[in-house]
Amino acid sequence: MLTCKDASRLISERQERPLGIGELWALRLHLWLCVSCRRFARQLGLLRRVLRTLLRRMETDVDGPELAPEARERIRKVLAERNAGTF
């Protein structure tokens, strides 16, 4: 019988690798019996789904965080120097 500690580890690892058939059944049984681990599993799933929207957000979100003006200026300078001739 799995402990919650073992189960939580498997719940995290199944996001990384396919579980073996034994692990899968042991986890399924444990989840059936344990409210906290069911919540843990849902929370990890949620976290993954939400985080994976972040890149998409960066790609479309024009109001995202911006560079400080000084940083902009520094970068502009470096780009001009290192690209002299191509600009």
Amino acid type, 59: E
Under rule CB under 8 A, which residues in 1-30 are in contact with other proteins?
A: 3-6, 8-9, 12-13, 15-17
- Binding pattern for the stretch 56-75 against other proteins, x by CB under 8 A and - elsewhere: --xxx------x---x--xx
Q: Of 2, 34, 33, 35, give the one whose Cα is nearest residue 19.
A: 2
Min dist CB 20 to other proteins, Å, is 14
Instruction: Between 24 and 78, name the residue whose CB sits nearer to other proteins.
Output: 78
**Is 84 an interacting residue with respect to other proteins (CB under 8 A)?**
no
Residue in 24, 29, 33, 46 binding other proteins, rule: CB under 8 A: 46
Please give the DSSP secondary-structure letter assigned to residue 20: P
Q: How many CB atoms lie within 10 A of CB 81?
A: 8
Three-class SS of residue 3?
coil
